[in-house]
C-alpha cells in the first residue's frame, strides 16, 4: 500500500488539471475538443450550410416561378392580340396598314415577346 503525503487523492489529481490533463472534476483543460464537441460543431456547421442551400433554392424557385408567370402572361397577351386581329376582315386590316401575314409578328411585338420592328406613323 502506498503512503499519502498529507494530500488526499482528489487534491493530488486536481493539481494535474492545469498541466493539460482533463479530469472529471476540474473542467475542460485539454487543448483538443472531445469527439462529442467536434460532433456538435459539425452539426452546427451542417445546419448552417443546409439553411443557406435551402434559402438559395427557395429564392431560385421563386424567381423561376415569377419568370414562368411573366412568360405565360406575355404568351396570353400575344394570343389575345392574335385572335383579335385574326377576327378582322382584310379591309379593316388594310385600314390599319397591316397585311394578314403580319398578324403573328405584330401580336408578338405587342406582347413584348419579339423586338418591335414597326414605326408608329401619325400621318
pLDDT, residue 26, reads 53
Confidence of residue 98 (pLDDT cuts 50, 70, 90): confident
Q: Return all residues near 75 (Cβ < 8 A) that are at least 6 apart.
A: 111, 113
C-alpha–C-alpha distance, residues 86 and 99, integer Å: 11
Environment class of 107 (CB within 10 Å of its CB; exposed 0-12, middle 13-18, buried 19+): buried
Q: Is residue 20 part of a domain?
A: no
pLDDT, residue 52, reads 96
Model confidence pLDDT, tens digit, residues 14-51 = 544 444 444 455 555 557 788 898 999 999 999 999 99
Specify the number of domains making up the chain.
Answer: 1
Q: Is residue 74 part of a domain?
A: yes
Q: Rounded to two decimals, what is the model's pTM?
A: 0.53
Residue range of the domain that includes 65: 33-111
Amino acid at each position: 500500500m502506498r503512503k499519502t503525503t498529507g494530500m488526499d487523492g482528489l487534491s493530488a489529481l486536481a493539481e494535474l488539471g492545469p498541466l493539460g490533463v482533463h479530469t472529471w472534476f476540474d473542467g475542460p483543460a485539454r487543448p483538443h475538443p472531445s469527439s462529442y464537441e467536434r460532433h456538435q460543431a459539425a452539426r452546427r456547421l451542417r445546419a448552417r450550410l443546409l439553411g443557406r442551400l435551402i434559402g438559395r433554392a427557395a429564392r431560385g424557385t421563386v424567381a423561376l416561378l415569377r419568370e414562368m408567370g411573366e412568360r405565360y402572361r406575355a404568351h396570353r397577351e400575344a394570343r389575345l392580340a392574335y385572335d383579335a386581329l385574326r377576327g378582322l376582315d382584310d379591309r379593316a386590316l388594310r385600314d390599319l396598314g397591316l397585311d394578314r401575314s403580319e398578324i403573328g409578328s405584330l401580336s408578338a411585338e405587342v406582347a413584348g415577346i419579339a423586338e418591335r420592328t414597326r414605326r408608329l406613323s401619325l400621318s
